[in-house]
Structure 1
Amino acid sequence: MGHAGNQRWLNIGNLGRVVHLTWRNGLDETETAEVFDLLTAAERADGVAPVGEHVILRLRSHRGVSEQIEPVQADVAGSEHFVIRADGGELAGYAHMDTEGESRGEPLVAELAVHPRFRENGIGTQLVAALLERAEIPVEPDDEGDSYRLRIWSHGLLAAAVRLADRFGFTRVRELWRMGRELSGAELDEPVLPEGVTVRGFRVGEDEPELVRVNHLAFSWHPEQGGMTEAELREKEGLDWFDPAGFLLAVDDADRLLGFHWTKIHPDGSGEVYVVGVDPNTQGSGLGRALTLAGLRYLRDVGCPRVLLYVEADNGPAVSVYRRLGFERWDVDAQLGR
């Protein structure tokens, strides 16, 4: 069983009753299922998922039996869970905190959601206050300036999240744009590959080491993508959406990996430019654009009506490339820091 690191009873706003907040290192399977139900309800209400894929993978994982008495779902090193229940037992709010980089002095990163039935009752306020307490940051902003030790994602930058961030004095420190375009019937240029380069599909059980190597080179600057391990890659291979046919690899005459375009198809049929990465030594060859086009043509040809992607807002060259390929900004995920 996951254990509580802290717990307290709270009187919450218009609910007119007491709720119970717990902070713990792990959740059991029943609790994890409740969290997924809450996240699904929040996404339906808001039109945007309240947490990123990283949190979903953490919730589905557990440490090995050598690290705990029995495998408990969502008991993963580097994850902490904040759970708020109404006095009837209903799950009203949830927050996940990623503490993996804490020992290296890196910021704590959190994501949270409040069930639509319990909104406008101070649940979000209590979750943010608990996260600040865990990060040892005063609830009220001080005059000495903040170090951004805690960062909270706001997916879609919804109005309620903006109000909550303003109340606690958070500053927008990072923006991730979601861009998209229509694909049905789209005319897409033929990819022009550098001489000697071909594109093939990903081979499960063979290509993982090279993929991780090139991914690290391509995203050494990126706070999440650059650290992907073979174990994490294999974990994603087990997800329902994974399809090696849509994982396009550019290789030279010796079958050495130069770049890749990992596509994804969502349950609603939309495609995604999930990751495009190229070896920095190939920059200037046009390989990145060719791989992007190859992936877009693949998604169009398998019937995806539209395609989306995520890109750092301050990555001007990438934004320009995607605009030239017909993408427009749809919405924004923001990381808010204190």
Structure 2
Amino acid sequence: MPRRVCIVLLTGLGDVVHGLPIANALKDAGWHVTWVSEPMPSSILEHHPSVDTIVRYRRREGARGVLALRRELRAARRAVGGFDLAVNLNVYFKSVWPVLFSGAPHRLGFERGRARDGIWLATNDHLAPRPRAHTQDMFLEFLAHLEVPHHPPSMPRDWRIAFSPAECAAQAAFVAERSGRPLAAIVPASANAAKDWRAERWAMVADGLVERGFEVALVGGPGARETGVARAIEAAARGPITWAMGDGVRRVAWILERCALVLAPDTGPLHIARALGVPVVGLFGHTNPWRVGPYRAYEDLWIDRYTPPGTAPDPSSFDPPPDDRMALITPDDVLAKVDVAIARYGVLDVKREA
């Protein structure tokens, strides 16, 4: 009978993407994998070959959500005969309930120095103290601690994001409707406005992309703020823009898979694109790309205004800067990185057929 693990990684979407190589390594080592996540990021777990069961924690429902989580985890626990191990990849208090409700006798989490809100008390095994690092590297520490064979992810097969036959058919239909030019996706907004870039500057970049031979699409979720930023970009741009906003994570992911280039601030779709092997121009001013950027890839396409000039990158730094450093990024900065992507990654030559 396989060993049974309950992964607790609730949010955000980018973190859940970073968790996929952990699930893969555990699955490859013979574990049955149950994953507790919040509803939005849990979508990327659907159809995943290494995730046997998804338990959705509706945290925003307060006490009712906690009680529902307890019922669902009890059912999941009974279905597999109990969990042997709970792995808490979070550092905040919201993860305490699923860890405790797992009923696992072995509960592994971050040590006191990196955990917050006292959550280290909910676990009985802890990682060794270390400085903070890139999120992916910190998650890999769990595999090392458990002595599970693994390697740092580098190729799409290391994340294994998968799509259903219906999604593949929708993806093929989307591709068939395109102009035939390489598709560049602009992800206009994140969940945190401080991470975002100005709409009028995105519009200038969109025009530059069209001039270089790309078809430009605005890609993102249905949130009111995201949609508002995207509408402002569409209104300010001179060239044609494909509207691909307003749907959930699954559609965003299969659209990104067929893109030649993705441009985004620090947001979940940026990490999905990296996991799918799509070159990413990342815009960073509010967050540290050496801690939360595309993992070990496309550093030559990053625009890093978080790290002060003349200062060495420091992956352990996570505090937001006191000023608006996203405002320091210019359209010329972004288009210069697009030109690097054209020269080094051949993104104008990419034909991503469905």
TM over 0.5: no
TM-score (norm: length of structure 2)? 0.28
Higher relative contact order (CA 8 A, sep 6+): 1
- Identify, as 1 or 2, the structure richer in strand: 1
TM-score (norm: length of structure 1)? 0.29
- Identify, as 1 or 2, the structure richer in helix: 2
